[in-house]
Amino acid sequence: MALERRLQVVHCNTEDEWMAGALKVAFATTDMKHVDQHFGAAKSFAVYAVNPEHLCFDQAVEFGQLDMDGNEDKLAAKIEALEGCIAVYSQAIGASAVNQLKAHGIQPVKVSAGAAISDLLESLQQELRDGPSRWLARAIAEQMPADPSRFDAMEAEGWEE
Q: Which residue has the higher pLDDT, 157 or 103?
A: 103
- pLDDT at position 159 is 67
| Residue 70 CB contacts under 8 Å (≥ 6 apart), including other chains | none
Structural domain includes residue 161: no
Distance CA 35, CA 42 (A): 10
Structural domain includes residue 59: yes
- Residue 150 has what DSSP assignment? T
| Residue 109 CB contacts under 8 Å (≥ 6 apart), including other chains | 87, 88, 89, 90
Structural domain includes residue 101: yes
Distance CA 108, CA 126 (A): 19
- Tens digits of per-residue pLDDT, 47-103? 999 999 999 999 999 987 655 555 556 799 999 999 999 999 999 999 999 999 999
CATH of the domain at 51: 3.30.420.130
Angle at 87 between CA 118 and CA 138, to 5 degrees: 120
- Residue 104 has what DSSP assignment? T
- Tens digits of per-residue pLDDT, 105-148? 999 999 999 999 999 999 999 999 999 999 999 888 887 666 66
Structural domain includes residue 52: yes
Give the confidence band of 157 by pLDDT, cuts at 50, 70, 90. Answer: confident
Work out how many domains the chain is built from and give that number.
1
Expressed as residue numbers, the domain containing 109 is: 3-156
Taken as a whole, the chain contains a residue count of: 161
E strands, the chain, are: 3-8, 23-28, 34-35, 44-50, 55-63, 85-90, 107-110, 115-116
- Tens digits of per-residue pLDDT, 6-46? 666 655 654 566 566 789 999 999 999 999 999 999 999 99
